[in-house]
Structure formats: structure tokens, C-alpha cells
Structure 1
Amino acid sequence: MAVGSAAGGTPPYSYHWFDNSFTSFSTNDTAFNLSAGSYYLEVTDANGCDTFSTVQVIAPQTSLSGSPQVYGVACKGDSTGMIVGDATGSWAPYKYYWIDNLGDTLRSTTYKTARDTLSNLISGVYNLHVYDAQDCFVSYAISVGEPATSLSIDSISVVETIACYGDSDGSARMFVSGGMPNYTYMWDSGETGLIAQNLSSGYRHVSLTDDWGCTVVDSIYIFENLEIQPTVSLVQTVSCYGNTDGIVTVSSTGGVGSNIFFWSTDPVGHTNNPDTVSGLAEGSYYVTTQDALGCEVVDSIYVSEPEPLAMQATALSWISCFGADDGLAYAIGQGGNMPYTFTWSSNNQVGDTINTITPGLGTVTVVDDRGCTANDTIYMYEPELLEIDIDTSLTIWPYCIGVNSASLTSVVLGGTPGYTYLWDDNSVAPQLTATASHLLAGIYTVTVTDARGCTASDTEDIDSTTNTMNVIIDSLTLMNISCFGDNDGAVNAITTGAHAPYTYQWTGPNGFYSTTSSISSLYAETYSVTVSDTNNCTVNTSINLTEPAALIFTTLSSTDATCLGACDGTVEINLTGGTAPYMGHAQDNNTGNTLMNLLSGDSLFGGVCSGDYTISLSDARGCSSELLVGGNDQQTIDATDTIDVAVNPNLCVFIFCYGDSTGGVALDFSIYDTSYSYNWYEVNDPSTSLGNTSQIMNLGAGSYVIEANYLGCIATDTMVLTEPDPIQITGVVTHLLCNGDTDGAIDANVVGGTISNTGYTYSWSNNNPATQDINNLPAGSYTLTATDSLSCESSKTFTVTQPDELEVTIIETSPFVLGISALTGGTPSYSYVWYESGNNVGTGTSYIVSSNGTYSLEVTDANGCMATSNNRVYNEPSSIVDGEEVSFRVYPNPFREEATVDFGYTVKEGTISIVDIYGKIIEQHEVANINSFVITNKDKASGIYFMKMETDSKNIFVKLIIK
């Protein structure tokens, strides 16, 4: 549609519309039913004036679409369905009209650009009308679906109750139907399988969710047996420390059946299982209470013992005097079990305090209330017999007649110190010390009393004989003068006898005087001493000190060195005085260096090199020499010949490859002298000659010396032969992750040797490329040989390894359970996926079969290598019979209360076993002469079981289902 309007000119106006081909199709101001394209309007006024205008009619780029999206009802009968309308194309904005299958409008919207949603729908058919801005519309009939049947947990059966209180090994299985497969499971134990195997006791909840998100919840009660509750009691503690007479007992409640006990004191394999044990030492003991199902509870008890019984005996007072037997002591006990009884070995007296202890080592025994004993010893000291003796070796006699210079000294033995003394030298004021002094000749008695009042005495007679004083010169410390004219003499006087202390008066040359016993810094001369004691008794003696004659010399002549560098010159010397042997000193007048040699025959100085020297001497005492008046101390040593030798590097042969012995060295022939003798040697082994020719070959790297010798004169030169670094090959090996792969690689690195711009050349074994690195390798050994620019070679072998081939075999480990019989090769750890006819049905090392089919196991190792097992075809039989054919049936099966097994013949003797899906025998019966047997659901949870009938001639195996 297009509308024209005019202004100006002279009304009225006339209108003419033209299409794109200028064909007139309307004379109205408004043109209808236009398609997309260009149109022209001519307007003419009353005077015939006209004008043209152009209008462009456009169409939408795309057609109108509602694009409804349907979300079905999650759970049958719910109102969780949803439809989303998402309008596009034509002209926005859009309006949405939602209508149910009865024609009632459920929802309508005003113009909007966003999508619109109709939610909370039950299953059924719904109509959607979408209008654009030009009222163009599209309609849709939309069906909202729901599952055909309700999602249901039909039943939950207990597979295994909990045998031991507190464990989490109960198991249960769900049976489900309805909803929209696939299903997901969530037990409150965190397990996500149809079967939960780690359930604790109580109500266990599980949710079932189908593929549309519908969820139902159910629960089942898992039973567990009563808790084992032991009571451990102490019957008797250990009587004495370290004994083994403790007794404990145990009783218990709970568990299943009769409980038995295992003590930590039992030896391995012990089966007595007593409730009371004895003969126990101190410590903690553990008892394990075990019920008929093997459930265990461990308890402990501590058996105490008293502290170690100990005692201490202490002397309060020692025996006063030798032989008195009046010692006093007491004893105390600790530990053990009070009260105590004390028995003393001294006279077998009883009590904790005794005052008639005899001397020596005694024993005290304590006995506690439970008969435990302990001992201690006590040493009762008896003082030794008190004795006093006047020591004649300490007696000082009167040196001069009539002088009271004598003294007596007593020595006390035994008794008890602090002693007191009493001399009978003076009745008014006797001396009271151990030594009595200022005594005249006579008889004297001393009495001593010790700290405990014990006494002893001794008597001595002294006469008037004078004690002689002696003075000697100590020869051990006497020192005569060492060198002529020195003053290092020394003398020491030793005095004995008489009455010390002594006084000394020394006299000597040049007014020398001293009052000490030792004198020093003396010249050669005579020295005299007068020694006096305190009683003015005197002794005189003297000593004469000597000195050696002066060391005087002069040089007489010299002999020259045989050649330059040979230090074999000599100097002849004439000398007198001093002390032999003598040392010659030759100081080089140019360098100041000094050569020192012992003189041969006291007159010949040898081993002198060429040069000008000043000669001096020293003797054995280190005394220096004096030059003889008018003498000569200067000498010159000449050398008549010289030698020279050198290696010519231009004639040397160098080493190309590391470790080779292809080198050679040669003399410089320009200075070669046939009168010399030559010798080659390695610098670190001069004792081993390598040859005496002008050139030597076949040498390895090292430093080589040529030595030339002429009349004992020696000259040397050194040449160093080098070699390249060794060619060293290293590399990084990429090993195979899976057996049989061919993606191994070796990244090699080569250093050393001698290389040019072209580098090394490479050669690999096994016909591999002549490159530094090689790839796409199977397992095996590969040897690389690298050659440098001088054709030196080095080789190294690399090994590419692979794991053993991954292989797995599965078997039926128990009825309806598949497991692994062998898994070898590959790289741990492994992951497992079970397949039934190519469909993934489970993971783990075992799989419980729920339907007939062909099963296999795919194993993947840590490197991603995979292996598939053998196929295992599972056809669940109604029964398996070994032997002759029989008529055999179970009815009803499944059953709730009981089922009858009809064998079809009379079983004379056999064994019936009821086994759960894990292969555990939960019930067993010995039967005879029967043709049928009734199975009940007593003590069995709902689920799948197997009955096995074993006879001498056949075995019958059938699956049972308890609802």
C-alpha cells in the first residue's frame, strides 16, 4: 500500500499511479495490493500543472517463523512440560497466542521482540499463533509428550546384611522400571550403581533419575548384629616390682553366637581362648573378643606393679675409737607395699635404728607387706689405731755445740683428725704443735689426742752430734764459654745439710760479686763462693770456666767448575781454633746469595758454582770466624765450557685423534753436537728413558724433555704434544609407550674431536638415515658412529625399549560374575571397561552379569595402550546338570515365602548349598533319600541366589529369586 498527498498549485488534484513499466493502474490517492518494487505518482492540479513522485515498496528479507521448542513432561502425570516460541523473520515485533486443544486461549502477549514461553504444561496438544507487526501470522500444533509409564523403583532387596557392628559392607540391589531410560542412581553412600556394596546400618536411601530428569526416592533398612561389648577386669596386680603374677579376666555381651577370646599374651596358633589369664608382668594387655562370624573388638587393661622396693641405710655416728663397737645407724624404705620390717646383719638386730654396729660392711634387709625384699649395705667406719711416731728423718740436730737449734717432728697415723699435741719439753709452757723446736740435746715425749678423745705417745733421744753442711757445683747446669771472648758462662751451687735457708757470696774477676746460688753471663775465669746457714756455719768452694780458641782462617786457592752450570768448583782453606766440624759460607758478590757446605777434611769447601765469592766460616757451636791478619777471603770460580739443546717444533708430528700414539718430537739440528749424549723422557717420569736418538715417534699427548749431557754438564728443553678432545656422543631416547609401536626416536648430540664447517658425518646401524637424529623407530638397539674432519671416529649404542604386550583374559569367577584370570604387560595403573555386544556396560575388575550376551573386557594402561580380552558368551540356564538327564523344576520361582525343588528322582545322599551372588555359602544341608526339598526365605534378603545340589553322580545348579 502507498498513500499520496498534494499541496500547493490549484486544487482539486487528480492522481495517476504507474508501475515500474510506467503502466497506469490506479487513479486514487491511495494504491492497494502492491508487491515489492518501485512505483510513480503523477499529481495534476485544476490548471493542468503536474508533478511526479517516486515511492519504493519493500518486502521482508525472510518469512515469518515461530520456531517452537518443546520440552516434555519429566514425570508421567506431572505438569512440567514447556514450549518456547522464538519468532524470527518478517517484521518485528511479534505477538504470541497460546491455545489449548479445546480452543481456549491460555496466554497472549502484546508486541515483543523476545521469545515467549508457555510452562507448567501437562501432556497434550497445544496451538501457537505468531503475528508480526503487519499482522501476518503462522500457526503451529505442538504435542507435549510424557513417559508412557511412571518411573518406579519396583523393589529394593538386601543382598548382604552387616555381619559386624559398625562396618559398612552391607549391599542392596534395586529393581526399576518406567520413565525414560537411561537411568542414573545415587545411594546415600555415594555409590552410583544398581547395586550398592558399601552400606552402613539403618535406613539407606537411594534416588533414581531417568533421562528426562524425573526422580523417585526409596529406602531400605540394612540390619547389623549387636555390638560386641567386652568387660576386662583386674583380678590381681603384680605383687613385687618385676614379678609376673598379675591376673586379669574378661566377659562379654553382644555379637553372634558364643564369643571367644584371644589375648596378646597367647602364642601364635594358640586355641585355648581362656577368659582369665595369669602369670602377667606389669604392662598393658590386649584381648580380642571374636564372635561366631569372626567379628572382633579389641580392649585393653593395664596391670600395675608397685614401685621398686628400695631402702637406704645411713650411718649416723661412726665407731668412736678402734675396737669400741659403738656405731649408730638407721634405715628407711620406699616403694613396695608398706609396712616394712628391717633386719641388720650386725648381731641380727631388728629395727630401723641400731646403736651397736660393729665395724666393716654390713647388710640391712627390708621386707614389705607382700613379702618383697630389698637390701642395702652400710659401711661402719672404725678409725685406725691411733699412733704417733717421731720421724728421725725430719730431726734437726744442733750444729754448733750448746746451741738449742735442734727440733723434733711427730707424724700421726690413724685415729680421727683434728689432733692436739703435748710435748714434755717444758712443764710450765710445753710446746703444742707437731714439731717441737729450739731443743737442746735430751729425751723428749709427745702425746697426741684425736677428735674423739683417743690418745697415743712416742719418745725420742737426741744427742749433740753436729750435722755436716755440703756445697757442690752442679755439673748438669755448668756452662763454659761457647765462643772465644763471649760471656755466656753459668754456674749453680747446690747446698745440702746444715740448717737452711742458706746465704751465698760469689766473687770473681773485675770485681764480680753475687749473692744468689746461680750466676750467669760469665767470662772465662775462676769464681769462688762462701755458703752460710742460719747458724752461721760456712763452706767455701770455687770453679774455673774455660773458652775455645778463636776460629781464624784464610783461603789458599780454588779449582774452577767443569762447565757452565756445573757446581763442582772448590776452595782450599787454612784454619785454626774453633770447634769442629766447620761450615763454609760462600756469598756470591753479585747476587748476595750464600752457599753453605760442610768443609771436607776441615779445609776443602766443595760444590761451588762459577762466580765471585766472599768466604767465611762457622764452627759446631755457631761461632763466627776471623780472617787471618794479611789473609784472603775472596775467590773466583770460572767455567770453561757451555752446552745447549732445543726441540724443533717444525719437525714435531702432532696427534690427530684423541688417545692415539701417533705423535713425534725432534731435536733442532742447528745446535746438534755429536759429542753430547742425549736422552728423551716424559716430564713426569724422568727415570724412564724413551730413547737417545735425534727423534722419537709413536707418542701420546704429554710433555716430553730432551736432555743433553756433556762431561756431566746438562741442558734440557721441553715440548708439549696436544691432542683433540675426545668425540663424545650423548642422546635422548624416546621410548615406546605401547608394545609394537614404531614412534621411537633418538636425539643425538656430538661434541669433541676436530670439525670443519661441514661438521661431523653420521652413520647409523640397521640401515637408518645418515643424519644426526632418527625417528619412527621400533624397539631395538641402534649404534651411531660419528666421524670428525680428521676421520677420527666414536660410536655409541642406544636402546629403544617397549613395555611387554598388554594381554587380558576373563573367566566366570563365580555364578553370574565375570572377572580377570590373567593380566600381563603394559604399564600400571590400569582402567577397565566391560562391553556386552559392543555396548559399554560397566567398569572395574569384575562385572555382575544381569542378562545373556557376549561379554568382553577392554583394559587401558597408564600410557593409553589398550587390549581386549577374549569374548565370554553368557547364556543363563534354568539349571545345570552334570550326568544323566533328569526331570528338574523349581516352583514357584520367583517366590516370597518358600519354593519347592523337585529333583525328578530320589537322591540317596547329597549336599544342598545356598550361595549368594558373591559366591558365599550362606546355608548348607546334608540330605538323604529325598526327591524334593523346600527352600525358605528365612534370614535371606530379597534378591538373586543359587542352589547347588551335589551328589556322587551329578551336580545340579539353579538360580533362585526371592521377592
Structure 2
Amino acid sequence: MILPLLLSVMICIPASAQLRAEKAALDSDNNRILATNGISVEVSGKLALCSHSEKGSIILDVKGGLAPYTYRWNTLETTKDRTNLFAGTYTVEITDAAGTVHIERIVVQPPYPLILNPLEKTDASCGSGNDGSAKISVKVGRGEPYQITWSNGMKDTWEVTNLAPGFYSVTIADIFNCDVTTSFEIKAASEGMQVSEVIENLSCSGQNNGSINLDIKGGQAPYTYKWNTGSSSQNLSNLAAGTYSVLIKDQTGCSFQASYSIKEATSIQLEEKLLPESCAGAGNGEIQVTIQGGSAPYTYIWSNGQTSSKLSGATAGNYSLKVTDALGCTVEKHFTLGTASALELELIEQTDISCAGSNSGTIRLKVKGNSGNYATKWLDDPSAGLNRENLSAGTYQLLVSDESGCTVSKSFTIADAEPIQARIETALDVDCTIGTITGVAWVSIQGGVQPYKISWSNGENNAREINFNSSGSLKVQITDALGCTAQTEVRVDFPSQINKAGRLDFDYRKLEINSEPEVQVDEEIIFESIISEEFIGWEWSFGDGKSSKEKDPIHKFEIAGNFEVILTAYDIYGCSSTEKNIIQVNAPLEFITIPNAFTPNGDGLNDMFIPKLRALTEFSMTIFNTWGEKIYSTNSLETKGWDGTHQGQASPPGNYLYQITYTSKDGEQFTKTGGVTLIR
């Protein structure tokens, strides 16, 4: 608990002030004159903060003088008592009805950390012992005296002894009753130890991966262990199946004895039943396995990716199975699946299409392993024989059956040839200097088989690139090494001349108008271009290493000097024109003007105290009242200035002092001090 600090202050004013404060009262019976006593004040409330989230309060008990009293605080408040206060010094002027003045200064202390060192404790030797102890100390605080309260009733002592096992707490409070509490436990070994075990039996048959892990509670550490294996460690690992016993003793001689069993794992046994494939390629073979031993559930992974205990839809061949039980134990077995009939189709030759869209495909086959005679049937042409010729691109399916009733079906895909793809591309080769134009056309070819024969409509042959000098249609025919052909055509336009009549010019001006007509460093300058429609692209060079592709860019020069600004424009043929201009950029002179008064009345005129600044790199300002207390400070060039308040309260009108420090662009530092009048 945090208790408010009661501060009682009695101040006697001089006799001369007391005489002035006296007020005569006429008694109609005896004409006695009664004099008032001096004013005395008792101060209470919350006069110290324990955290930054708290607020202080001041309660005044005024006696003496002649009531009623008036109050005026240094923060301009006129109430007797104050609440919701930040840390700081508060001054109140108390005036009684006779005009006697009493001044009281009260300090609300700021928060100060109270940090304890880690608590030092000694546990009890056993559960019934009272020989535990604890010791606490302050690492950071306001200094002696501290109030110390232990939960066992001890007070104002840094160390307590004779503690029984249990939970305790201690509270430390400083001179202002700001406190911090820490809790701790005094432990002890019980008369008997409590031991729990985690046993891992053998996961797989034949392995020695059993383990026994013990968790000890009670007693008094350290403990000693004696296993029937000769081991003296707490836990055992890499154990075979069997029984293991241990004797545990604590430091006081208390003992615990127990035995644990590691169980053997049962091995996994596989039994299979095979159903051969009826006909070669039929894919109806099966392998069914059953499992004995291990720990269910089981997982299955066949060599063909199936994951059940039954392999189905299998063709003749070799297969393997890996079985894993719930403990991670595995067994693997291989199987060979046969077939009742070996009817098979063998592809001897397959020819794809040589030229796109032609009928030049072939399929040649051989039947093997048939039982007796066989019959063939193509789905697209049942009358066709085993071998096929003059086929177009597509998929062909053949069904073959023998006298045993087995059938085999197979599909063959005749791929179409990649068609020859030709594309004519054109460009105009322009000489901007002399104004000549040459048309260039070239053909891009994909597909087919090289080498190609190329025939242009203008009579040129075997040239991928030709020139032209008039508008019209261009055609080209491509023939590849296999005789496959392709043809393409394009319409070309040829201009009669290059247009050189484009107009190019530009102006510039400041983006923000001010009293300085010259261009200054770091001022935004907008460049306004005059560019004819014949130009489709443009680029600016500002002479300071910077450039822009905007039509009307905004630019700032970072240093003073003369800069040649060049505007270059380009037409559709890549020909360019330029316009140049020299711009002089001046370095601004530093400037500071400090007002001597301001009126923070919210009318928008002279509401803030802030100097006028120019061409400065650093700036700081501090405001003091006439008592020398700092009430405002800033170090930002972007500050709006002092608004005449302090800690959220309006400062009284009057004179204040300022100290201003600034640095010019050349690095020279200046300091100015003076006074400013706050007018309300």
C-alpha cells in the first residue's frame, strides 16, 4: 500500500506584516480591538509519485489570519486544494480577508525506481525443519530509512531466519511509502522421496533401445543411484529386455528402492497370397499380405507406390513391400508375380509426319507370345492389317487377341511435323544528318528442317534481308530441306521525306514565388517546355549531373553556380533537336530575426514565439521564466515555436528569457540570448 506523505509546515510572518494583517473589530459593549493571529498551513496529500502513471495531490489546512482566504498558485489556479499533479514545485500565495499574505512552496517528488537485488535464501534441511532463511537488499532506491515487512511478521530487518518450508513474501517501502514486493518459497526434502518413471520398451525385435528415465521429488539433493547393472546415473538407456532395480539415497540418508521391466518387442512376420496376371498387360494381378507380430497399426509402401495390404491391378513382374508398425519397426519382402498368357505387341518402327499436314506416317508391329493364331483390329479401320502406312497425324489403337482369349491393346501416336513459321519484319534506316531513308525487311523462320530456300516477291532469292524504297506489299516463300513450304506477306509504308520543321523551346520559373528574384540553392524550379507534336520523346540535362524525362520537370540545384540546361527532343525516326539555356544559381545568405513579444490569444496573429530563419543547418531554442526554470525547449528547424504554455497550463503574462543557438551553412555556430514579453 502507498500512503500519502503528510507534510506540516508552520511559517511565522514578520511582526510588521502581522500588524498590517490585523483587523480591528469594534465591540459595542467594551470597545475592545481584537487582533488576528498569523497564518499557518499544514500540507498533506500525495506529495511523491511512485510511478509515471500516478498523479500527485496537495491538500491545504489553513489556520490563523482572518477568513475567508484566497489562493493563487504559480500555475494560475485559484482553488485551495490541487489534484492530478505532475512532479514539480508548486507555489501558492494565500491572502486572508485582512490582506495578510502567506506564501507556501510545496514539492511533489518525481518517481524514483526501487529495485531489489535477487533474494538470497537457504532452504530447510527437511520437511519438519525450521532452519530456512532469506535475505533481501536494495540495489537502487532513495536511501535509508526503508520500511521492511516480511509475511511471517518480522519488520525492519533485512534477513529472517528459522523459516519452515512454505511460501513467503517481503515488502520494501522507501521514505515516501513507494513499495515493491517479492515472493519466494522455502523448500525442504520430505521424509520419503517420490519417484516417477518413464519407460521405453524395445521398439523392434532384436534391438537394445529400451530406456528408464526417473523424476525425483522430495528428499534432499544431491541423490545417489545404485542400479543392479552397476550404473550410478539417474537414467538408463540402450537397454535390452529384462528387469532393472535401483536404490536411491538423498543427502540425509533417506532411501527409495524400486524395480522396472523392459519388455521385448514381437517380430513382424509376413504371409502372402499371389494371384497371377491373367494375360500379359491385363493388369489384373494381385498380392495379398497378412501380418503377425509387431504393433498395430501398420503402414504399407509397395514399390509401385500403392499403400494398402493388398497390391491390386498389377502386371507380371517383380515387386517389393515395406511394412512399418506403430513403433517404427520395419520389415521388407520381395515378390515375383507371373502371368497366365504372354501375348505381347512389339513396336518395330514408327514414322511421324515429315511435312505438316501430309499423310506420311507409318506403324510396323510384331506379335509375340501368342497362344495359337491371333486376330488384329484397328479402331479407326477394322479392315487394316497389322502394319499401317500413309497415316496422317493422330492416335491409332490396335486390339490383338489370341486363341486363349487373352487380348492386348496398345495405342500409337503419329506426331505432326512442326510447321514452318515465317514472319517478315521491317524497319526504316534514317540518316538524320543528310535526310535520307532506306527501308529494310528481313524474314524470321522457325520450324522445318534447315537449310532453307528463300524466294522474295521482288525477285531476290536465298537472302534473309532485303532493302525496299517504296510502299507496297512484300511476299516471301520458305522451302526447307524436306521440301516443306510456307509463305507470308506484309504491307510496308515508305515515307517521302523526314520532317524537320519541329519547334523546340523552354522557359523556367520558381515554383514558389518569394521576394528573391534570383534562383537560389535548393529552390524548386519548374521548367516549362514548348515541344511540337512531331517530337515523340524528350530528355532534360540540368548541367549538375541530374536529368529527367518528364515534359515539364521540377528541379532543385543543390550548389551555387552557372548551369547549362539542355532540352533534347526526338522524332519518330530518332532524329533529335536541342535547346540550351544558362541558369545562374545563387547561394542564400543566412538570416535570423527574433521578435520581442507575442500574443498567444488564438487569433492567428503572433500566437507563437519563433524566430524567422533562413539558410541554417541547425537550430535550438530554450525558454526560461524569471526564476530561471526551463519551461520550453526545441532543437528542430521545423518547430512552430512556443505557444505560451508549460506542462499543459497557460503561463502568466510577463517577461521571459530565451537562449537561441544556430549553425550557418558554412558550419559557424552562434548563440543569442534576450527577453520576450508574453502578452495576454
TM-score scaled by structure 2? 0.41
Greater relative CO, 1 or 2 (CA 8 Å, sep 6+):
2
Structure number with bigger Rg: 1
TM-score scaled by structure 1? 0.30
